[in-house]
Structure 1
Amino acid sequence: MVDAGQQWIHSLLLSLFWGGGVIAVILFTYAAAHFLATLPEILRPRPSRPAPDSSPSVVRWKVTQQDHDRIKDEYGRLCIDPFRGAELAILDDFTVPEAVALIQALAEANDAAVATNGPTYEKAVLHLAKAWRQAQARATQAEPRRPLNRGLEIRALTTDPVVPARPLPPIPRERRTCR
């Protein structure tokens, strides 16, 4: 009985081997035909890309553009960040000289970028970077404005300067009576 089992396993392996071999030959001939059909496409010479221009002026222009874009992005993130309102309030106040210098430097850098004049653009972006650093320093060291005294605020709202400001009445407290 052991010999019969061994013979059966042997014949099964041979049939699988021959059947698998036949399938492998069919697949190989299909794959070879497909490979030979695409071989000219694979071996076709590709046009080479031109090497990027690495002259010093081009590299300086790209670095200048990256600096300009970085500063614009940082200023834009500051404008939309709700947690940095105090800094934005200082940079939006045009009585602050650093804020005015920053806006002017942004405009000059944008104008120089459009004009595509390399040295002028580079100087404008350097000036912008300096103005941005100064504006950031001013925004971080300045205190947020405190609300005015309530009495002063009422006086400022009246049109008649003779009318004195009245103090606000105290908030009434709850009275408890015992019975």
Structure 2
Amino acid sequence: MTIVDAGQQWIHSLLRSLLWGGGVTAVSMLFTYAAPHFLAALTDILRTRPTRPAPESSQGIVRRQVIQQDHDRIKDEYGQLCIDLFRAAELAILDDLTVPEAAALIQALAEANDAAETTDYPTYEKAVLRLAKAWRRAQALIESAEPCTVVYGARAPAAPSTSPGAELAWRRPHPPIPRERRTCR
């Protein structure tokens, strides 16, 4: 055997030991870092899943979407009424909770909003139907009301006609105007 052959055998055995040692190191590192992920995936696969209720039929889904759209439409229309400055007289009618239609509308709106947050679909559907009925009655009340001018306060006198020690009329406290006088019926 020559020195070259001995050198080649030594390099070959060195490479073989390095490869085996490196392979063992690589496999041990793989198991050290990959084993938790592998076990997590395995336990996720073997884990029992809770049973889910049967999905609603497409007709039920469409019906719920229609009910939600009606609810949103009525809320939007009522919100537009509340912020529209030119419809203040109509809002004054609906703000008067002594009017049965206005009280029913506010009650139905609160019930529908509460029912929307639950998972009980029949209750939500009934609440939205009551809201739609109350909204139609409130709109009929608004349309049947005569337009009127709402008086909110007393006017200041045109010229000071009082003596210097007397209290001005517009500074005197006035009793609040009852709601019956503010709205036209």
Q: TM-score, normalised by structure 2?
A: 0.50
Cα distance in 1 between the residues matched to 2:62 and 2:149? 48
Aligned to 1:93: 96
1:114 equivalent to 2:110? Answer no
Cα distance in 2 between the residues matched to 1:69 and 1:143? 29
1:143 is paired with a residue of what secondary structure?
Answer: coil
Give the one of 139, 143, 146 matched to 1:140: 143
Cα distance in 2 between the residues matched to 1:89 and 1:60? 34
Q: CA deviation at 1:157?
A: 3.6
Farther off after superposition, 106-115 or 137-146: 137-146
Give the one of 51, 56, 59 matched to 2:59: 56
Identical aligned residues as a percent: 69
1:126 is paired with a residue of what secondary structure?
Answer: helix
Cα distance in 2 between the residues matched to 1:70 and 1:61? 14
**Contact map agreement 2:97 2:103 (CA 8 A) in 1:** yes
1:99 is paired with a residue of what secondary structure?
Answer: helix
Cα distance in 1 between the residues matched to 2:126 and 2:148? 35
Cα distance in 2 between the residues matched to 1:74 and 1:83? 14
- State the Cα RMSD in Å: 2.8
Cα distance in 2 between the residues matched to 1:143 and 1:95? 18
The count of aligned residue pairs is 104
Q: CA deviation at 1:147?
A: 6.0
1:94 is paired with a residue of what secondary structure?
Answer: coil
Cα distance in 2 between the residues matched to 1:146 and 1:73? 26
Once the two structures are superposed, residues 117-169 of structure 1 have per-residue CA deviations (whole angstroms, 9 ceiling, x without a partner) of: 11111110000000000001111211245567x8xxx9x948xxxxxxxxxxx
2:82 is paired with a residue of what secondary structure?
Answer: helix
Cα distance in 1 between the residues matched to 2:108 and 2:150? 31
1:67 equivalent to 2:70? Answer yes
Aligned to 2:23: none
Gaps of at least 5 residues in structure 1 are 1-52, 159-179
Gaps of at least 5 residues in structure 2 are 1-55, 155-169, 176-185
Once the two structures are superposed, residues 25-68 of structure 1 have per-residue CA deviations (whole angstroms, 9 ceiling, x without a partner) of: xxxxxxxxxxxxxxxxxxxxxxxxxxxx7522211111100000
**What code does the residue aligned with 1:69 have?**
D
1:77 equivalent to 2:83? Answer no
1:127 equivalent to 2:125? Answer no
Cα distance in 1 between the residues matched to 2:138 and 2:71? 16
